[in-house]
């Protein structure tokens, strides 16, 4: 049931404030100051290393989580695509936890990667949407994302719920290891609880993103740029766009622009730049100027402070609500989804069932 929406994808995008509230509520103690895990819980104190493995959008959630685990918990993290990981025979050192992220919990490569880690890793954790799935059943601890059924082939609400659970795990790891005090943890959790209302405000930008999507639907190729936490999100934005609009899209870390992709820039190349006004903003603005100096058309997705600083040179500027820096990947997923959605709608493609794709990839 599409509940009055034109597509499952738009329904699932709109559900995010509710499902995010639910998943945050599920993991928080009654007084909202501590994180509770299901079953017997898990303690990161004896874990020195995290290996995260997934495919597609779930892989980009892992890439984002790497920044969080490194910065907040000070933990070395390795992130890999399941189809590469499983055949590489990577050594798993002691005190390593292996964490698998999968919406369906049935992705063949991710499951094979999990089985490879059995008996090698200290523990097997998973972040899944389907609690009865193979990946959930074969883990020592399965962490549900509580997104509810996701029908659209393009993952939307599962991605933001995966990010939320991974962020909570990074906070828990930092707290277990004594890098976050009780008060710091409580403050971070209170910030997180206000995220769903910021997501709601981002959803209200639908009209501007529909306008941007209409323009983007005329492009042959689109480049996505991001730095720091916005880099994995640039990858996710490009994946979403190619999946449902069939427009060729690529993502690069902004700093890589000069190392090749800048050669592609001309007046027919839209460049989507996601950049909240954070510590890395000035560097991104200078990348943006390099693009504009070569007639590239920039779609800048930023907050009010960023928009004021960037001036009005961008082709299109989308002004997002503000959020604490660590939470921007979850918030900025919304315009990535809406932009892809509206571009696909403008092109008239089958948004929920894009060609050649299956919701769950249970064969190699
Ligand atoms: O069910 P999974 O999370 O394991 O699926 C992984 C990928 O197949 C999936 O995220 C895919 O990339 C989506 N279609 C992205 O929108």
Position 311 scores a pLDDT of 85
Whether 65 has a pLDDT exceeding 90, the answer reads yes
Using CA atoms, how far residue 259 sits from 255, 256, 263, 272, in Å, is: 8, 5, 9, 18
Mean of the pLDDT values across residues 115-138? 97
Position 364 scores a pLDDT of 84
Percent of the chain residues topping a pLDDT of 90: 94
Whether 363 has a pLDDT exceeding 90, the answer reads no
pLDDT digits (tens, 9 = 90+) for 183-213: 999 999 999 999 999 999 999 999 999 999 9
Would you say 339 and 209 are in contact if contact means Cβ atoms under 8 Å apart? Answer: yes
Element (H, E) at 96: strand 96-102
Query: Does the ipTM surpass 0.95?
Result: yes
Distance CA 270, CA 292 (A): 10
Would you say 38 and 141 are in contact if contact means Cβ atoms under 8 Å apart? Answer: yes
Whether 5 has a pLDDT exceeding 90, the answer reads yes
Q: Pocket residues for ligand 1 (CB within 6 Å)?
A: 55-58, 102-104, 107, 110, 153-155, 243, 360-361
Would you say 125 and 100 are in contact if contact means Cβ atoms under 8 Å apart? Answer: yes
Position 52 scores a pLDDT of 98
Position 301 scores a pLDDT of 97
Q: Name every residue whose Cβ is closer than 8 Å to that of residue 124 and which is 6 or more positions away in sequence.
A: 97, 98, 100, 114, 117, 118, 138, 139, 140, 141
Distance CA 309, CA 273 (A): 14
Distance CA 244, CA 9 (A): 10
Mutate to test the pocket of ligand 1, among 9, 52, 53, 58 (most ligand atoms within 8 A of CB): 58
Tell how far the Cα of 50 is from the centroid of ligand 1, in angstroms: 21
Distance CA 44, CA 125 (A): 12
Mean of the pLDDT values across residues 285-313? 93
Whether 152 has a pLDDT exceeding 90, the answer reads yes
pLDDT tier, 39 (very low <50, low <70, confident <90, very high otherwise):
confident
Q: State if pTM tops 0.80.
A: yes
Q: State the sign of the Cα–Cα–Cα–Cα dihedral 68, 71, 75, 76.
A: positive
Whether 160 has a pLDDT exceeding 90, the answer reads yes
Which runs of consecutive H residues, i.e. helices, occur in the chain? 8-14, 16-27, 56-73, 82-88, 108-117, 134-137, 157-176, 182-193, 195-203, 206-216, 230-245, 281-292, 304-310, 328-331, 333-347
Q: For the CA atoms of 24, 30, 32, 33, what is the dihedral angle to 10 degrees?
A: -130
Using CA atoms, how far residue 348 sits from 5, 9, 209, 211, 246, in Å, is: 16, 14, 16, 15, 11
Indicate the pairing of strand 270-274 with strand 316-320: unpaired
Position 120 scores a pLDDT of 96
Position 144 scores a pLDDT of 98
Position 177 scores a pLDDT of 97
The radius of gyration computed from the CA coordinates of the chain, to the nearest angstrom, equals 20
Mutate to test the pocket of ligand 1, among 9, 157, 361 (most ligand atoms within 8 A of CB): 361
User: Going by CA atoms, what residue is nearest to atom 7 of ligand 1?
Assistant: 56
What token pair was written down for 265?
Answer: 């820039």
Whether 96 has a pLDDT exceeding 90, the answer reads yes
Whether 62 has a pLDDT exceeding 90, the answer reads yes
Distance CA 93, CA 114 (A): 15
Position 222 scores a pLDDT of 97
Catalytic residue among 215, 283, 347, 359: 359
Whether 56 has a pLDDT exceeding 90, the answer reads yes
Closest atom of ligand 1 to CA, residue 56: 12
Residue-by-residue DSSP string for 257-287: GGGTGGGG-STT-EEEEE--SSTTHHHHHHH
pLDDT tier, 313 (very low <50, low <70, confident <90, very high otherwise):
confident
Whether 40 has a pLDDT exceeding 90, the answer reads no
Position 247 scores a pLDDT of 98
Position 147 scores a pLDDT of 98
Closest atom of ligand 1 to CA, residue 103: 3
Q: What angle do CA 220, 150, 116 make, to 5 degrees?
A: 90
Distance CA 341, CA 14 (A): 12
Mean of the pLDDT values across residues 165-173? 98
Mean of the pLDDT values across residues 143-169? 97
Percent of the chain residues topping a pLDDT of 70: 100
pLDDT, mean over the chain: 96
Residue-by-residue DSSP string for 114-139: HHHHTTTSSEEEEEES-TTSHHHHTS
Tell how far the Cα of 279 is from the centroid of ligand 1, in angstroms: 31
Would you say 329 and 229 are in contact if contact means Cβ atoms under 8 Å apart? Answer: yes
Mutate to test the pocket of ligand 1, among 57, 359, 363 (most ligand atoms within 8 A of CB): 57
359 as an active site residue: the answer is yes
Position 32 scores a pLDDT of 95
User: How many Cβ atoms are within 10 Å of 91's Cβ, its own excluded?
Assistant: 7
């Amino acid at each position: 049931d599409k509940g009055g929406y034109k597509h499952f994808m738009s329904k699932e995008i709109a559900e995010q404030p509710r499902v995010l509230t639910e998943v945050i509520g599920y993991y928080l103690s009654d007084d909202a100051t501590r994180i509770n895990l299901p079953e017997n819980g898990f303690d990161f104190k004896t874990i020195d290393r995290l290996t995260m493995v997934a495919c597609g959008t779930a892989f980009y959630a892992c890439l984002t989580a790497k920044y969080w685990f490194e910065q907040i918990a000070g933990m070395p993290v390795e992130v890999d695509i399941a189809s590469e990981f499983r055949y590489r025979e990577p050594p798993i050192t002691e005190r390593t936890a292996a964490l698998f992220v999968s919406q369906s919990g049935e992705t063949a490569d991710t499951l094979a990667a999990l089985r490879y880690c059995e008996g090698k890793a200290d523990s097997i954790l998973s972040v899944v949407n389907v609690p009865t799935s193979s990946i959930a059943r074969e883990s020592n601890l399965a962490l549900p994302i509580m997104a509810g059924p996701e029908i659209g082939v393009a993952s939307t609400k599962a991605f933001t719920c995966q990010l939320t659970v991974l962020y909570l795990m990074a906070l828990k790891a930092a707290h277990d290891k004594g890098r976050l005090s009780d008060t710091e943890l409580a403050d971070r959790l209170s910030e997180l609880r206000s995220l769903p209302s910021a997501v709601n405000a981002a959803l209200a930008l639908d009209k501007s993103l529909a306008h941007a999507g209409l323009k983007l639907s005329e492009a042959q190729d689109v480049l996505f740029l991001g730095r720091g936490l916005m880099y994995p999100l640039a990858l996710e934005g490009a994946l979403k766009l190619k999946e449902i609009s069939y427009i060729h899209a690529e993502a690069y870390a902004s700093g890589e622009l000069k190392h090749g992709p800048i050669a592609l820039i001309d007046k027919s190349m839209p460049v989507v730049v996601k950049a909240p006004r954070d510590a890395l903003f000035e560097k991104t603005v200078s990348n943006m100027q390099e693009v504009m100096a070569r007639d590239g058309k920039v779609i800048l997705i930023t907050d009010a402070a960023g928009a004021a600083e960037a001036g009005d040179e961008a082709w299109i500027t989308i002004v997002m609500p503000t959020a604490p820096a660590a939470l921007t990947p979850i918030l900025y997923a919304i315009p990535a989804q809406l932009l892809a959605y509206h571009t696909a709608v403008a092109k008239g493609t089958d948004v929920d069932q894009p060609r050649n794709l299956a919701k769950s990839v249970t064969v190699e």
